[in-house]
Amino acid sequence: MSPDEANATAPPQGLPSAHSEGPPESWVNLAAFDNPEYAPGRGVILRTIWYYCSLLLLESGWLPVSGLKARMLRLFGANIGVGLVIKPHVRIKYPWRLTVGDHCWIGQGVWIDNIEDVRIGSHVCVSQLAYFCTGSHDYRRRNFDLAARPIAVRDGAWIGARATLLPGVSIGANAIVAGGSVVTKSVDAAAIVGGNPAKLLARRQPPTANA
Protein backbone atom coordinates (compact mmCIF):
# COMPACT_ATOMS: atom_id res chain seq x y z
CA MET A 1 0.00 0.00 0.00
CA SER A 2 1.33 3.39 -0.94
CA PRO A 3 1.57 6.24 1.63
CA ASP A 4 -1.27 8.01 -0.19
CA GLU A 5 -3.51 4.93 0.09
CA ALA A 6 -2.68 4.60 3.80
CA ASN A 7 -3.61 8.23 4.43
CA ALA A 8 -6.89 7.80 2.53
CA THR A 9 -8.01 4.91 4.75
CA ALA A 10 -6.84 6.34 8.08
CA PRO A 11 -9.48 7.87 10.38
CA PRO A 12 -9.48 11.66 10.71
CA GLN A 13 -7.04 12.98 13.26
CA GLY A 14 -8.50 12.95 16.76
CA LEU A 15 -11.14 10.28 16.04
CA PRO A 16 -10.78 6.67 17.24
CA SER A 17 -10.19 3.92 14.71
CA ALA A 18 -12.73 1.11 14.45
CA HIS A 19 -9.82 -1.24 15.27
CA SER A 20 -8.39 0.74 18.17
CA GLU A 21 -7.72 -1.17 21.38
CA GLY A 22 -10.49 0.53 23.36
CA PRO A 23 -13.11 3.28 23.15
CA PRO A 24 -12.24 6.76 24.35
CA GLU A 25 -13.24 7.45 27.93
CA SER A 26 -16.88 8.53 28.15
CA TRP A 27 -17.62 11.73 30.02
CA VAL A 28 -20.75 10.12 31.47
CA ASN A 29 -21.18 6.88 33.37
CA LEU A 30 -24.66 5.54 32.65
CA ALA A 31 -23.97 2.44 34.73
CA ALA A 32 -23.99 4.70 37.80
CA PHE A 33 -27.26 6.44 36.85
CA ASP A 34 -29.63 6.55 39.82
CA ASN A 35 -32.54 8.73 40.92
CA PRO A 36 -32.98 8.21 44.67
CA GLU A 37 -34.67 11.61 45.06
CA TYR A 38 -37.20 11.13 42.25
CA ALA A 39 -40.63 9.79 43.21
CA PRO A 40 -42.97 8.73 40.37
CA GLY A 41 -45.99 9.39 42.58
CA ARG A 42 -47.35 5.84 42.71
CA GLY A 43 -45.96 2.44 43.65
CA VAL A 44 -44.60 -0.12 41.22
CA ILE A 45 -47.77 -2.26 41.27
CA LEU A 46 -50.09 0.58 40.21
CA ARG A 47 -47.58 1.80 37.64
CA THR A 48 -47.44 -1.69 36.16
CA ILE A 49 -51.24 -1.95 36.03
CA TRP A 50 -51.42 1.45 34.32
CA TYR A 51 -48.75 0.41 31.81
CA TYR A 52 -50.84 -2.51 30.56
CA CYS A 53 -54.17 -0.64 30.70
CA SER A 54 -52.64 2.16 28.67
CA LEU A 55 -51.08 -0.27 26.20
CA LEU A 56 -54.33 -2.16 25.64
CA LEU A 57 -56.95 0.59 25.82
CA LEU A 58 -55.27 3.93 25.12
CA GLU A 59 -52.18 3.44 22.98
CA SER A 60 -53.64 0.61 20.89
CA GLY A 61 -56.63 2.58 19.67
CA TRP A 62 -59.01 -0.30 20.46
CA LEU A 63 -61.13 1.91 22.74
CA PRO A 64 -62.69 4.53 20.44
CA VAL A 65 -64.96 6.30 22.94
CA SER A 66 -63.44 9.45 24.46
CA GLY A 67 -65.72 9.36 27.49
CA LEU A 68 -64.55 5.89 28.50
CA LYS A 69 -60.93 6.89 28.09
CA ALA A 70 -61.51 9.96 30.26
CA ARG A 71 -63.06 7.74 32.94
CA MET A 72 -60.07 5.42 32.85
CA LEU A 73 -57.68 8.35 33.25
CA ARG A 74 -59.69 9.63 36.22
CA LEU A 75 -59.63 6.16 37.74
CA PHE A 76 -55.82 6.35 37.72
CA GLY A 77 -55.73 9.80 39.30
CA ALA A 78 -55.93 12.26 36.41
CA ASN A 79 -57.93 15.46 36.87
CA ILE A 80 -60.03 15.58 33.68
CA GLY A 81 -62.72 18.15 32.93
CA VAL A 82 -65.85 17.68 30.84
CA GLY A 83 -65.99 17.31 27.07
CA LEU A 84 -62.54 15.77 26.49
CA VAL A 85 -61.99 14.43 22.97
CA ILE A 86 -59.05 12.04 22.93
CA LYS A 87 -58.06 10.34 19.67
CA PRO A 88 -56.43 6.90 19.23
CA HIS A 89 -52.83 5.99 20.07
CA VAL A 90 -52.34 8.64 22.76
CA ARG A 91 -49.63 7.85 25.30
CA ILE A 92 -49.64 9.28 28.84
CA LYS A 93 -46.78 8.35 31.15
CA TYR A 94 -48.41 8.98 34.54
CA PRO A 95 -52.12 9.96 34.58
CA TRP A 96 -51.90 11.02 38.23
CA ARG A 97 -49.64 13.85 37.07
CA LEU A 98 -52.05 15.11 34.42
CA THR A 99 -54.65 17.88 34.67
CA VAL A 100 -56.88 18.70 31.68
CA GLY A 101 -59.59 21.37 31.68
CA ASP A 102 -62.95 21.40 29.91
CA HIS A 103 -63.59 20.79 26.20
CA CYS A 104 -60.05 19.91 25.16
CA TRP A 105 -58.91 17.94 22.11
CA ILE A 106 -55.95 15.58 22.23
CA GLY A 107 -54.97 14.40 18.77
CA GLN A 108 -53.87 11.03 17.49
CA GLY A 109 -50.41 9.90 18.55
CA VAL A 110 -49.87 12.60 21.17
CA TRP A 111 -47.27 11.63 23.77
CA ILE A 112 -47.51 13.28 27.19
CA ASP A 113 -44.28 12.11 28.83
CA ASN A 114 -45.16 13.51 32.23
CA ILE A 115 -42.71 12.31 34.82
CA GLU A 116 -43.50 15.79 36.20
CA ASP A 117 -46.87 17.56 36.27
CA VAL A 118 -48.53 18.56 32.99
CA ARG A 119 -51.42 21.01 33.30
CA ILE A 120 -53.61 21.75 30.28
CA GLY A 121 -56.27 24.45 30.53
CA SER A 122 -59.72 24.53 28.97
CA HIS A 123 -60.49 24.71 25.23
CA VAL A 124 -56.96 23.61 24.33
CA CYS A 125 -56.22 21.79 21.07
CA VAL A 126 -53.20 19.46 21.06
CA SER A 127 -52.71 18.24 17.50
CA GLN A 128 -51.38 14.95 16.18
CA LEU A 129 -48.02 13.59 17.35
CA ALA A 130 -47.26 16.51 19.66
CA TYR A 131 -44.75 15.61 22.38
CA PHE A 132 -44.72 16.97 25.94
CA CYS A 133 -41.26 16.28 27.38
CA THR A 134 -40.95 16.96 31.11
CA GLY A 135 -37.67 15.12 31.69
CA SER A 136 -34.07 15.79 30.72
CA HIS A 137 -30.59 15.08 32.09
CA ASP A 138 -27.80 17.14 33.60
CA TYR A 139 -24.98 16.60 31.11
CA ARG A 140 -22.57 18.43 33.45
CA ARG A 141 -22.69 15.53 35.92
CA ARG A 142 -20.97 12.24 35.23
CA ASN A 143 -23.96 10.23 36.47
CA PHE A 144 -26.24 11.99 33.93
CA ASP A 145 -28.67 12.97 36.70
CA LEU A 146 -32.37 13.32 35.91
CA ALA A 147 -33.69 16.87 35.55
CA ALA A 148 -37.50 17.05 35.46
CA ARG A 149 -39.71 20.16 35.24
CA PRO A 150 -43.47 20.65 34.74
CA ILE A 151 -45.24 21.91 31.62
CA ALA A 152 -48.33 24.14 31.51
CA VAL A 153 -50.61 25.01 28.58
CA ARG A 154 -53.12 27.77 29.32
CA ASP A 155 -56.72 28.18 28.15
CA GLY A 156 -57.43 28.48 24.44
CA ALA A 157 -53.93 27.55 23.26
CA TRP A 158 -53.22 25.41 20.20
CA ILE A 159 -50.25 23.06 20.04
CA GLY A 160 -49.61 22.19 16.38
CA ALA A 161 -48.92 18.75 14.93
CA ARG A 162 -45.51 17.25 15.79
CA ALA A 163 -44.63 20.19 18.05
CA THR A 164 -42.37 19.46 21.00
CA LEU A 165 -42.62 21.20 24.37
CA LEU A 166 -39.46 20.90 26.46
CA PRO A 167 -39.22 20.76 30.28
CA GLY A 168 -40.36 23.81 32.23
CA VAL A 169 -42.14 25.70 29.45
CA SER A 170 -45.48 27.44 29.86
CA ILE A 171 -47.69 28.20 26.87
CA GLY A 172 -49.76 31.33 27.45
CA ALA A 173 -53.51 31.60 27.00
CA ASN A 174 -54.63 31.65 23.33
CA ALA A 175 -51.08 31.16 22.08
CA ILE A 176 -50.33 29.04 18.99
CA VAL A 177 -47.33 26.76 18.56
CA ALA A 178 -46.82 26.04 14.86
CA GLY A 179 -46.56 22.45 13.68
CA GLY A 180 -43.12 20.88 13.98
CA SER A 181 -41.83 23.54 16.37
CA VAL A 182 -39.55 22.89 19.34
CA VAL A 183 -40.46 25.12 22.28
CA THR A 184 -37.49 25.70 24.58
CA LYS A 185 -38.78 28.81 26.38
CA SER A 186 -42.16 29.88 27.72
CA VAL A 187 -44.56 31.50 25.26
CA ASP A 188 -46.54 34.66 25.99
CA ALA A 189 -50.32 34.80 25.81
CA ALA A 190 -51.72 35.19 22.28
CA ALA A 191 -48.28 34.76 20.72
CA ILE A 192 -47.81 32.70 17.55
CA VAL A 193 -44.44 30.94 17.59
CA GLY A 194 -42.70 28.52 15.26
CA GLY A 195 -39.39 26.98 14.31
CA ASN A 196 -36.57 25.18 16.12
CA PRO A 197 -36.10 26.74 18.55
CA ALA A 198 -39.52 28.36 18.42
CA LYS A 199 -39.52 32.13 17.95
CA LEU A 200 -42.23 34.78 17.82
CA LEU A 201 -43.87 34.94 14.38
CA ALA A 202 -46.94 37.07 15.02
CA ARG A 203 -49.63 38.01 17.53
CA ARG A 204 -52.98 36.28 17.56
CA GLN A 205 -56.04 38.51 17.40
CA PRO A 206 -59.43 37.73 18.98
CA PRO A 207 -62.02 36.19 16.63
CA THR A 208 -64.27 38.75 15.01
CA ALA A 209 -67.38 36.54 15.02
CA ASN A 210 -68.64 33.11 15.96
CA ALA A 211 -69.39 30.65 13.17
Distance between CA atoms of residues 47 and 61, nearest Å: 20
- Helix, strand or coil, per DSSP, at residue 59: helix
The values of phi and psi at residue 36, to 5°, are -65, -25
Do residues 73 and 92 make contact, with C-beta atoms less than 8 angstroms apart? Answer: yes
CB 148 within 8 A of CB 180: no
Instruction: Please give the sequence-ordered ranges of beta strands (E in DSSP) within the chain, or none if there are none.
Output: 79-80, 85-86, 91-92, 98-100, 105-106, 111-113, 118-120, 125-126, 131-133, 135-137, 146-148, 151-153, 158-159, 164-165, 170-171, 176-177, 182-183, 191-194, 199-203
Residues that are catalytic:
137
Exposed (0-12), middle (13-18) or buried (19+): which is 121, by Cβ within 10 Å?
Answer: buried
Are residues 121 and 175 in contact, defined by beta-carbon separation less than 8 angstroms?
Answer: no
Query: What Å distances lie between residue 51 and 45, 46, 56, 156, 192, CA to CA?
Result: 10, 9, 9, 30, 35
